[in-house]
Amino acid sequence: LNPKPELASDPAGAALTGNTVTLTCHMNLSTGWDFYWYKHTPNSETKKTETNSYRVKIDSVSDGGQYWCRAGRGKPVYYTQYSDALPKAVVMVQPDERVFRGETVTLRCDIKWGEDTEWTYRWEIEGTNYQYKNSVSQISTQEWNISSVDHVHSGKYSCTGQMGTQSSQHSDAVTLTLS
């Protein structure tokens, strides 16, 4: 059997520009393996490490994205399977990102990662109202219904998901605008 590693990140989820993320390629392997790191597509430029961890300094938005890993050893190199990529969350808005006062808006955090997965969700808000500025919502459900939208709800909404030790990448922010 060709083993398949599991990829995890610390800190979990997304990192802000200027921060460092440590990726770990978890496998039950004997010693002597090298680890190979891929960004965006499995066929992209490869980084090789002798340990199962890889530090990524997020200097710009282009350093973000999806990462994969796999292990290899021997000559010619015998490789494991690629890990799954760290999943990325996506925020969906119904009916629209531009809303009128009094309307009901539903925000949904979607994470494509296998089937029948049980995620715990975390929402973040960067709002125009001082009490919402950079706050982390206590909402932990996949869907968030805001009834009777008002100016305090204007702002940027994003989410992440956690399932056991696996975390999603942070979603891109969606801007809710009150008309």
pLDDT in tens, 51-101: 999 988 766 555 656 788 999 999 999 999 998 777 778 889 999 999 999
What is the total residue count of the chain? 179
* Lowest mean pLDDT across 4-8, 38-42, 66-70, 154-158: 38-42
106: pLDDT confidence band, cut at 50, 70 and 90? very high
Residue 7, classified by CB atoms within 10 Å of its CB into exposed (0-12), middle (13-18) or buried (19+), is buried
Q: What is the spatial distance between Cα 178 and Cα 67, in angstroms, rounded to a whole number?
A: 36
Return the bridge partners of 124, or none: 136, 158
Cα(49)–Cα(129) distance, rounded to whole angstroms? 46
Give the residue-averaged pLDDT of 2-28. Answer: 76
